[in-house]
Amino acid sequence: MSSAHQGSAKKITLQLANGNTYDLPLKYAKESVNLMNLVEALGLLDNDEDVSNTASIPDMPDYVTRQTLDIFVAYAKHDELDRQKKLEEQKRNPPKVIRKWPDEPEEERQLRLEKEREDMLNKLSRKTLIETLVTAKFLVYDDFKKTASSVVAKRFLDGKSPSQIAEALGIETDYTPEELQEVDAETAWMQ
C-alpha cells in the first residue's frame, strides 16, 4: 500500500436509483450478502489498493437510499465495535479453558446488544424504519433484518387489531368501517 493512501479505507461507490452515489466502506459492504457478491465480482477482495470502484446494482430499489445505507453502516459499526471489545477483553483475560467472558456472560451480552440495536432503530420514523427493513432484506444482512423486523413487529403489530395495524403502517383500505369492524371481530383472538 502506498503511503499516500495510508489511513484511507477501501470503499465501493454505489450508484443509487435516484442517480446519486454513496461511498460505502468495503468492510461494511462485506456484511451484506448482495454487496459481498458485488465486491467479489469487481475483484476488490484481491486488490490491496485503496481505490474507489463505482458499482451500479441492476434495478437498485428506490428504498435503498443514502439514509437507509447510513443506518446500515451505523448498525455494522456497532457490530464491529462489539467484536473489538470482545477481542480486547480476551487479550486482557485470556481464558485458560473455553469459558464465557468474565466481564459479561454471553447471554447478557447478546441481550444488551439486541436492546442497543433496537433502541437505535426505534428512533426512526415509521417510513424510515419500513424502508430500513426492506433495505436490510435487499442487502441480505440477516442480523440487521432480524432486528429491524423485531422493531417493526413490536412497534406496529403486537397486540393490535388489523385496523390498528393498517392505521399504524399507513395502509389505506377500500373496506367500509362496518367491514373493518367485522374483520376485527373475526380476528379478535390475535390481539
178, 73 Cβ separation under 8 angstroms: no
Q: How many C-beta neighbours within 10 Å does residue 93 have?
A: 12
Chain segment 128-183, per-residue pLDDT in tens: 998 898 888 888 888 889 999 999 999 888 888 877 888 888 888 788 888 878 88
Which H or E run includes 108? helix 106-122
Amino acid at 105: P
- Residue ranges per structural domain of the chain: 3-157, 159-191
Amino acid at 44: L
How confident is residue 1, by pLDDT bands cut at 50, 70 and 90? very low
- Helices 142-152 and 106-122, interaxial angle, to 10°? 60
- Pairing of the two strands 21-25 and 11-15: antiparallel
Asked whether the predicted pLDDT for residue 5 surpasses 80, the reply is no
Task: Pick the range with the lowest mean pLDDT from 59-63, 69-73, 97-101, 148-152.
Answer: 97-101
Instruction: Give the number of other CB atoms < 10 A from CB of residue 181.
Output: 13
pLDDT tens for each residue of 9-67: 677 788 888 888 888 887 888 888 888 887 777 776 665 554 455 666 656 788 888 89
Q: How far is the C-alpha of 164 from the C-alpha of 60, rounded, in Å?
A: 32
- Residues 90-97, mean pLDDT to the nearest whole number: 68
What CATH topology corresponds to 3-157?
A: Potassium Channel Kv1.1; Chain A (3.30.710)
